[in-house]
Structure 1
Amino acid sequence: MFKISSWKHLRIPFSFYLMPVYFFALALTPNHNPERILLVFVALHLFLYPSSNGYNSYFDKDEKSIGGLRNPPKVSKGLYYLSMIFLGIALGLGLQINVAFASMLLVYGLVSMAYSHPLVRLKKYAYVSWLIAGFFQGAFTFCMAYAGLSDFGWEVFGMTHVLVPGLLTSVMLWGSYPLTQVYQHEEDSKRGDFTLSIKLGVQGTFLFSSVWFLLTGVLFAWYFLSRNQENAFLGFLMAMLPVVLYFLVWFYFVKKDPQKHVTYDWVMWMNRVSGLALNIFFIWYFLENTQILQVM
């Protein structure tokens, strides 16, 4: 019933780059439960995110490279139904924890639909889409994961100790988000999607992201040091070092020859470097913060 092309558009491996938010929430969750840890992880990374990817691909109908697909195949109606099935499975898994967590999954799913659906298409509004994408993939997802992992409800959004680290993840994503658009100016413009990266221009995008990356470092430093976690602060700096170095090298080449170096490959390697470094750090932070390493 579902073509191989439809499965490709789900881009399940791309969920790897959003895992740091989950592991950060896991590190700060006080009520660890193996079943909830597995349910939240699977609901988010194997079903909710792929559902969003597939749904957006169906309405975008990209002909050139997109995140996770160098040569995206043509979409079919089956992709739409497959994305809905994946959303339904995510909601079903969420209900295994509680109704509130399932409703958060639904809200995330509806917002992601609004991002590309022609009736709303948030993507065509540069600053609105930037704010919403960064907030929902960062702070909202962090609070949602925390609620699911702890068997809590919507009250987590009113808890300062949850919302603050969640917003830190949004700050990080607000810095990286325009970079993911920087090689898609031509195709986005054809559809009338004047993204933030188009508004800023190529070099403006890099300068904009550099400011937000600096702000990310300052705020995470404040967060860890305010908790007297010097080791976590140093670990975060070590994790960010390869990311910053890659960014600077990339920016250097872009200034010399934008057409040659503003490409899918450069963006994907940026994702790989940052995804790997941050996943390693936040897994370590989970083990350290929960004192599992001391027990071992």
Structure 2
Amino acid sequence: MLLENLRSTFFHLRFNVSLAFLPIFLWGYALTEADINRNFIYGLLVLHFLIYPAINGVYAYFDGRKGVVYGLRNVKPASKFTLIISLLLLFVGVYLSTKINTAYFGVVISLVVLSFLFSHPSTGIKTKPFYAILTLALTYGLLGFIAGWVCAFDLKSLLNPFSIGGALSSAGFAGGLYTLSLVYRISEDSNLTGSLFIEKLGSAATFKFSKIILLVSGVIATVVIAAKFTLYELIGVIIYFLFGFIGIERFEKNFYLQKEWQNYKTVVSINLTNSILLSIYLIFRILMVNYLFID
């Protein structure tokens, strides 16, 4: 019984989701062009190995969904055991965030509050497309970016056009990619409950919205990179974004031909590929700045 609860809890903590948003934190730190410091290491670990997994576990508990994905993976819905483990991780993460700096602590608290409001059924946020996507954009996108930034500088230094552009692109990417990553839940064989905004949007509107917001965010990010980074990086990012949009177009065409489990695997593949490639690039850039190979 304990092993089953642990297995279920580990699944619901969704470390793959935490990894998917790692580039946003790294993007925030990379734009500061600061050397690697203690706050950067601690901030990354606290956010992506404690706070995000805990939030995922709390969301899974309130969601309580039974679907094809859970059945095929033989994973039971999140239980009180999952909730307790998630809350413990959350408390540890919040406590450790106080050891980084005040601004980082404020970001973490804001993220936790917004995530609870999104997750709890009584607020109704996750059932309303506009408010749900806005909340996701603010939490994983804007606050995730700011978390990376304040590991190097204070909030006042964020108030310049290119840093604001970086923050806005992060919010757009988070809102667009998270919305797209949920589309598998409205596949042909999905168990619809009416409790999630993606069901009201529908698959066609989901793909349309995601492509528009990702395009706008990509343009903003490209402008920031053109101003702050090298020409080679700019060319590489443009090529990467083009391939990304081709991948989304292909997913949309195949979506209506696949079952929920297949669409879920496609979503995971897109998120992990995107996260790994962008994280490698951004970590490499941060290292190059740290060791003075680039300005």
TM-score (structure 1 length as normaliser): 0.85
Q: Which residue of 2 aligns with 1:294?
A: 293
Q: Which residue of 1 aligns with 2:270?
A: 270
Q: Which residue of 2 aligns with 1:144?
A: 147
* Alignment pair present for 1:176 and 2:201: no
Contact 1:239–1:281 under 8 Å retained in 2? no
Distance 1:161 1:211, change over 3 A: closer
Q: Which residue of 2 aligns with 1:135?
A: 138
Matched position secondary structure for 2:145 = helix
Moved more, 40-49 or 154-163: 154-163
User: How do residues 1-296 of structure 1 correspond to structure 2 at under 5 angstroms?
Assistant: 3-4=5-6, 5-64=8-67, 70-147=73-150, 149-150=151-152, 152=154, 154-155=155-156, 158=159, 160-185=161-186, 189-190=192-193, 192-195=194-197, 197-227=198-228, 229-254=230-255, 257=257, 263-288=263-288, 290=289, 292=291, 294=293
> Which runs of no fewer than 5 residues in structure 2 stay unpaired?
none
Matched position secondary structure for 2:177 = helix
Higher relative contact order (CA 8 A, sep 6+): 2
What residue identity is the alignment partner of 2:291? Answer: I
Matched position secondary structure for 2:123 = coil
What residue identity is the alignment partner of 1:77? Answer: K
Give the Cα–Cα distance (whole angstroms) in 2 for the partners of residues 245 and 108 of structure 1. Answer: 32
Contact 2:169–2:218 under 8 Å retained in 1? no
Distance 1:70 1:130, change over 3 A: farther
Tell me the alpha carbon deviations over residues 64-100 of structure 1, each in whole angstroms, 9 at most, x when there is no partner. 2679x95542322122221111111111211112233
TM-score (structure 2 length as normaliser): 0.85
1:182 positional shift: 1.3
Contact 1:63–1:71 under 8 Å retained in 2? no
Q: Percent identity?
A: 22
What residue identity is the alignment partner of 2:31? Answer: L
What residue identity is the alignment partner of 1:35? Answer: R
Contact 1:62–1:72 under 8 Å retained in 2? no
Distance 1:73 1:206, change over 3 A: same
Moved more, 202-211 or 181-190: 181-190
What residue identity is the alignment partner of 1:150? Answer: A
1:19 positional shift: 0.6
Contact 1:139–1:170 under 8 Å retained in 2? yes
What residue identity is the alignment partner of 2:226? Answer: L
1:176 positional shift: 1.9
1:40 positional shift: 0.3
Contact 1:143–1:163 under 8 Å retained in 2? no
Give the Cα–Cα distance (whole angstroms) in 1 for the partners of residues 220 and 20 of structure 2. Answer: 21
Matched position secondary structure for 1:294 = coil
Give the Cα–Cα distance (whole angstroms) in 1 for the partners of residues 275 and 133 of structure 2. Answer: 20
Moved more, 74-83 or 126-135: 74-83
Contact 2:25–2:146 under 8 Å retained in 1? no
Matched position secondary structure for 2:282 = helix
Moved over 6 A (4+): none
Distance 1:49 1:135, change over 3 A: same
Tell me the alpha carbon deviations over residues 119-163 of structure 1, each in whole angstroms, 9 at most, x when there is no partner. 21421111111011012211221112211x1263x5456454433
Moved more, 218-227 or 56-65: 218-227
Distance 1:222 1:266, change over 3 A: same
